[in-house]
Structure 1
Amino acid sequence: MTHWLIKAATAALVALPSIALPSLAMALEGPELFPGESALYEQAKKEGMIVSFDTGPTWANWGEQFKAFQKRYPGVELVYNDIGSAATVVALDKARNRPQADTAYYFAGSALDAVTKDVVAPFQPVNFGKLVPQFKQADGKWFTIHTLSPALLVNTNLVKNPPKSWADLLKPEYAKTVVYLDPRSTGQGQVVVIAAAYANGGSIDNVAPGIDYLAKLHKAGNVLRTVGTTPYAQFLKGEIPILIGYENDGLKAKYKDGMGDAVQVVIPSEGTVAAPYAISLVKGGPNPDAGKLWLNFIMSESGQARFAEGYVRPSVPGVALPASVAAQMPAITAIPLDVKKASDRKAEIDQLWAKQVLGQ
């Protein structure tokens, strides 16, 4: 995602299994999820389809969002692809004269690019007003739907005494145990630097303490290696003692992918940051009412809770986590990440990290 999120890319659009259309209009079951839902649904049915860019079903519980949407709104087919954030913005730009997508999902850094290229439209869905300022563009050209936070993902078969803080990682007992992503080539690496900066007295406006911390971690001999892509498969195989990675990967490894009690997900006691993942209504998209229906659906209380079932944090404050995952997700203190300032800091982070960590 502009180099912020690395995913396998495929340009093919994939349609969900079709649902037989009723012969008569169907009313929504239960109360409205948001004001005006029924009327918007009627308009969306006239369009009959929504094209959702970069919402791969295995990521962030999108697959379950698709199923719930199609169940609630018969007659509105949902079509998606999974091409990555940067590719999504490129695709929107190339198709600006005849847009193919109705909505676009990406790391919020790519959302800034989409706004600059003028390929997205203002839209304020339900709960937009509850979002903190760092999690939205003022007019609604993008808004955050969930967040990801750096955490310490610990293989307890390899590390008997898991660290509890950023400071703990500097201890000699963690020699040759730590893996994290290269901040020059990955968005997650950049976010880790910023999280470490806040934890060590810095901020988004003063990233030097984060670089200083990582340099100390290397000097102590505690870094096993840095990597250029997310090493999730290696973590699952038991090849990484401690991964400074996104919380959701650790929770997936523990509860979905078979590692169980061999994984401990530690939110450092000094805190972390919440990196925003955003969505936009595409400017001039072919199915604008269906697009608005989709965006309202995922920003509703139930839509936000469904993201948590994929182990990503809802962006709307106060949303209750589903009982199925509430006990599984650790308590968290996370500062909202300002992606505009983060983008402005990238060159500085790249230069300082190369100088202090690599000696270049």
Structure 2
Amino acid sequence: MTTPRHLGAFAATAASVLTLGLASCAPPERKAEDGGASEATSAADFGGMEKLIEAAQAEGELNVIALPPDWANYGAIIKAFSDKYGIKVNSAQPEASSQEEINAAIQQKGKSTAPDVFDLGQAVALANTSMFAPYKVTHFDQIQPGMKDPDGRWVNDYGGFMSIGYDSAVLPEITAIDDLLDPEFKGKVALNGDPTQAGAAFSGVLMVALSQGGSADDIAPGVEFFGKLKEIGNFLPVDPTPATIESGQTPVVIDWNYLNGAVSEKKPTWRIFVPNDAAVAGYYHQAINADAPHPAAARLWQEFLFSDEGQNLFAASGVRPVRADAMIFATTFDPKAFDRLPAIDGPVTVPTKEQTDVAAKYLAENWAKAIG
């Protein structure tokens, strides 16, 4: 679904398109008993934030997964949370995909090393809601309908735009996606992940599809384009990381604008191109593992992420925090951080759940054949 708007209306637009098909019945009211942190659906169930903090500090640890330090400012966010509450944060598999987060939770169920919380792309999150614990953060009412499950099983936390990052020191300026077909890009174009598993890669294929006449309802042109890149030798089947970018192994990276933005801070020649005629936006989904080994710390982590402090830390990396509009209205935003948010001229595509499901099925059946 495409909607003309600037970034200032991002939250409202995403809310309107994500609302489709996501309603569910609220569970009966539950009150956590002493030691019943896994049943708590709000801080009130602990007796307030102070009691939640005490319970989380008694657990002493939090297990996170798939949170690279350069991704959405998670390095600074983890440090700020740990410093503020004195809780040790164990960060596992920082380069894991959304599906690998779910796989880890299933494989480690019942173990102290299982993930406490998830940060997931839309397709994987909505396919696994039975694994999430309902929890409403203090600012839950400031998050628009459609940006959250009504019971708090998942909540959008931050979003951005798909982009192409490239090293201008060795490559010509990119002004259109078709530029990637030029001989100068032979063996240089990398996609962040496998689009059948990773949200960033999925959105990258969708962006390319739009540029080739496709739509959120028809991702095939994007798959065909990558097949062409593979055929002429321009596609680089390497999962990019800060190390591969720094070394020059992946001089072109299709990824979220805030991740390419993090590269540009360290690599002055790194440029970012967001196609106004094929802009794709997406929010990531935050959720608590229903079998979290540290259930109180998991809930405190959610409270921190959606607090003004946590949301401003997201914005400092160039991502749009889900509470941005409410914080601007309440003047609780950090102007310096919010100045980093990009503006887009033209239509922006945010796929609905139904469109994502159809596209995911097509990718599962055709992606490997196209780039194999």
TM over 0.5: yes
1:218 and 1:46 map into 2 onto residues whose CA distance is 52
Amino acid at match of 1:208: A
Secondary structure (helix, strand or coil) at the match of 2:159 reads strand
Please give the residue correspondences for 1:316-335 in structure 2 after superposition, counting only pairs within 5 Å: 316-318=323-325, 322-332=334-344, 334-335=348-349
TM-score, with length taken from structure 2: 0.68
Relative to structure 1, the CA distance from residue 93 to residue 240 in structure 2 (aligned partners, 3 Å threshold; closer, same or farther) is: closer
| Deviations 1:163-219, CA, capped at 9 Å, x for gaps | 23335555x585537503375666243321112223444333221232344456667
Distance 2:353 2:236 in 1: 23
Q: 1:152 to 1:95 in 2, by over 3 A?
A: closer
Q: Tell me which protein shows more strand as a share of its residues.
A: 1
Does structure 2 conserve the Cα–Cα contact (< 8 Å) formed by 1:112 and 1:340? no
Count of residue pairs brought into register by the alignment:
314
2:218 to 203, 206, 221: 206
The equivalent residue for 2:254 is 244
Structure 1: distance between partners of 2:171 and 2:317: 26
CA shift digits 1:213-264 (9 cap, x unpaired): 4456667x5x622314225433323345533233233222211x3x21x111
Counterpart CA distance in 2 for 1:285 and 1:184 is 27
Q: How far apart are the structure 1 equivalents of 2:167 and 2:210?
A: 25
Report what 1:156 is aligned to. Answer: 168
Question: Using the alignment, how far apart are the partners of 1:56 and 1:218 within structure 2?
Answer: 29
Gaps of 5+ in 1: 1-33
CA distance in 1, matches of 2:164, 2:368: 23
Cα distance in structure 1, aligned partners of 2:52 and 2:43: 14
Structure 2 unmatched ranges of 5 or more: 1-41
Q: Please tell me whether the aligned partners of residues 316 and 340 of structure 2 are also in contact (alpha carbons under 8 angstroms).
A: no
Q: What TM-score, normalized by structure 1, do the two folds share? A: 0.70
SS at match of 1:60: coil
Give the letter aligned to residue 263 of structure 1: W
Give yes or no for the alignment of 1:137 onto 2:149: yes
* AA partner of residue 50 (structure 2): Y
1:92 to 92, 101, 105: 105
Q: How high is the sequence identity, in percent, across the aligned residues?
A: 22
**Quick check: 1:267 aligned with 2:279?**
no
CA 1:294–1:189 in 2, change beyond 3 Å: closer, same or farther?
Answer: closer
More displaced, 100-109 or 151-160? 100-109
CA gap of 1:316–1:46, structure 2 versus 1, over 3 A, is: closer
Partner of 1:69: 81
| Cα drift, residue 288 of structure 1 | 4.0
> What does residue 235 of structure 2 align with?
225
CA deviations over 1:23-51 (Å, ceiling 9, x no partner): xxxxxxxxxxx997992223331452352
Paired letter, 2:204: V
Residue 296 of structure 2 corresponds to residue 279 of structure 1: no
Q: Does 1:346 align with 2:367?
A: no
Residue 57 to residue 176, structure 1, CA distance change in 2 (3 Å) = closer
Residues 72 and 317, structure 2, Cα contact 8 Å, conserved in 1: yes
Aligned equivalents of 1:241, 1:70: Cα separation in 2: 34
Residue 327 of structure 1, CA deviation: 4.9
Q: Give the letter for the 2:132 counterpart.
A: V
- 8 Å Cα contact 1:52/1:104 also seen in 2: no
More helix by share: 2
User: Whole-Å Cα distance in 2 between the matches of residues 173 and 87 of structure 1?
Assistant: 35
Deviation at 1:78, TM superposition (A): 3.8
